């Protein structure tokens, strides 16, 4: 007698096995990257999109190494700079000076140069600073990006570090042709400050912009550049923001005699012909001052965080 369908016991289907954790993470990463890239495809040219894709993948793959150094003691630093900052690191030995105090310094130059690790070695990727722009308006855009769990935008990359050091370039930030432009720069820095206040767990160290060589500016522009730097170190700008401190790089490099013909311009002993890049002597003198400032700022921030751990 043959069995009827009702006589055959049903065998429950075998539930699919969950993918291994590593595979799940890879799938999530793929989906996240796909969503980000899909959103960028219509607004970026092909070459820019290819570079962004390469850098985003590199940043995500290296994220665990970067975050591993963030242990809550504020020793994982990053310096966002262009050429003047590069010279402070190379000629002024800023990385070594900070290392002597137990601080590890990553640094990020132009996007084409990308991120370098605490040994000064290129990582092979950048954090994709928007438009490579570290002028005041560029910094305002950068620090008001949305923070996301993966380093798929510049701010999220920077915030993997515990201390973010940053500066604008001497040109155009010290080339202030009008009072209106000075006001615009101040407004941009206000936007930077608003962005910083959203991340109270991170210490931000702003360097005022370097001055221009006398060959590239005039007394009125130089006076406005001094006014901007003075404002950035004033309580009006810094007041009430516990995770922001400002190092007056402008004052370190500029002629301080108001009666000198090159007042508020790059000092004579710190310049080479018509170049506005501070020379080796400047970097060798200023880097120790900057290193001491950073060390003291980190120590003070540690103490504040320890006193108010729930902030």
| Residue-wise pLDDT tens digits, 36-81 | 554 544 455 556 788 889 999 999 999 999 999 999 999 999 999 9
**Is residue 13 very low, low, confident or very high in pLDDT (cuts 50, 70, 90)?**
very low
Q: What are phi and psi of 291, to 5 degrees?
A: -60, -45
What tokens were used for 128?
């994709």
The residue assigned the tokens 């730097």 is 229
Strand order in 76-80's β-sheet? 115-116, 104-108, 76-80, 163-167, 203-207, 244-247
Decide: 283 and 272 in contact? Cβ < 8 Å: no
Q: Kindly report the backbone phi and psi dihedral angles of residue 217, in degrees, each rounded to the nearest multiple of 5, phi listed first.
A: -150, -175
**pLDDT value at position 49?**
80
**What are the backbone angles phi and psi of residue 100, rounded to the nearest 5°?**
-65, -20
Q: Is the pLDDT of residue 5 over 50?
A: no
Higher pLDDT, 307 or 249: 249
pLDDT of residue 16: 43
Does position 12 have pLDDT exceeding 90, yes or no?
A: no
% pLDDT > 90, the chain? 80
- pLDDT attached to residue 51: 85
Place of tokens 């912009």: 209
Whole-number pLDDT of residue 241: 96
Residue pair 246/237 in contact by the 8 Å Cβ criterion: yes
pLDDT at 182: 98
Which residues sit opposite 76 in a β-bridge?
A: 104
Strands 203-207 and 244-247: parallel
Mean pLDDT over residues 224-238, rounded?
A: 98
More confident residue, 308 or 201: 201
Whether the pLDDT of residue 26 is over 60: the answer is no
How many whole angstroms separate alpha carbon 168 and alpha carbon 141?
13
Name the residue with tokens 């990385």. Answer: 95
- How much is the mean pLDDT over the chain? 89
Which residues are registered as beta bridge partners of 24? none
ω into residue 95 within 30 of 0, thus cis? no
Dig out the tokens for 185 from the structure: 């720069």
Distance CA 274, CA 213 (A): 6
In this prediction, residues 126-149 reach a mean pLDDT of 97
Quick one: pLDDT at residue 44?
A: 55
Tokens 């959103």, located at residue: 39
**19 confidence band (pLDDT: 50, 70, 90):** very low
Lowest mean pLDDT among 23-27, 72-76, 166-170, 197-201: 23-27
Q: What H or E segment, with its residue span, contains residue 60?
A: helix 46-61
Report the candidate in 272, 246, 251, 287 with the shortest Cα–Cα distance to residue 89: 287
Joined tokens for residue 247: 């190092």
CA atoms within 13 A on the CB side of 12: 3
* Distance separating alpha carbons of residues 4 and 19, to the nearest angstrom: 38
What is the bridge-based pairing of β-strands 203-207 and 104-108? unpaired
The span from the CA of 79 to the CA of 95, in Å, is 10
Q: How confident is the model at residue 270 (pLDDT cuts 50, 70, 90)?
A: very high
10 has a pLDDT exceeding 90: no
Domain at 70-307, CATH class: alpha beta
């Amino acid at each position: 007698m043959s069995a009827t369908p009702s006589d055959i016991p049903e065998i429950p289907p075998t539930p699919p096995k969950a993918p291994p954790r590593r595979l799940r993470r890879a799938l999530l990463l793929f989906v996240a990257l796909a969503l980000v890239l899909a959103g960028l495809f219509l607004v970026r040219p092909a070459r820019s999109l290819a570079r962004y894709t390469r850098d985003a993948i590199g940043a995500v793959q290296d994220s665990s190494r970067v975050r591993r150094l963030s242990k809550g003691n504020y020793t994982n630093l990053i310096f966002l700079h262009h050429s003047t900052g590069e010279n402070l690191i190379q000629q002024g030995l800023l990385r070594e000076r900070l290392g002597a105090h137990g601080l590890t310094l990553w640094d990020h130059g132009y996007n084409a140069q990308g991120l370098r690790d605490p040994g000064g070695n290129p990582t092979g990727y950048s954090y994709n600073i928007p438009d490579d722009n570290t002028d005041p308006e560029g910094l305002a855009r950068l620090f008001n990006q949305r923070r996301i769990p993966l380093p798929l935008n510049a701010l999220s990359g920077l915030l993997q570090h515990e201390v973010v050091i940053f500066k604008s370039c001497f040109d155009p930030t010290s080339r202030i042709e009008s009072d209106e432009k000075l006001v615009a720069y101040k407004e941009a820095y206000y936007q930077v400050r608003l962005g910083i206040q959203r991340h109270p767990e991170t210490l931000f160290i702003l360097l005022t912009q370097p001055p221009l060589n006398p060959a590239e500016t005039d007394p009125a522009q130089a006076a406005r550049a001094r006014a901007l730097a003075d404002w950035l170190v004033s309580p009006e700008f810094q007041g009430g923001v516990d995770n922001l401190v400002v190092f007056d790089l402008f004052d370190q490099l500029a002629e301080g005699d108001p009666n000198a013909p090159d007042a508020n311009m790059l000092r004579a002993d710190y310049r080479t012909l018509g170049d506005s890049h501070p020379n080796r002597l400047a970097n060798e003198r200023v880097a120790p001052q900057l290193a001491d400032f950073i060390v003291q700022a980190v120590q003070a921030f540690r103490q504040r965080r320890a006193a108010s751990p729930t902030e």
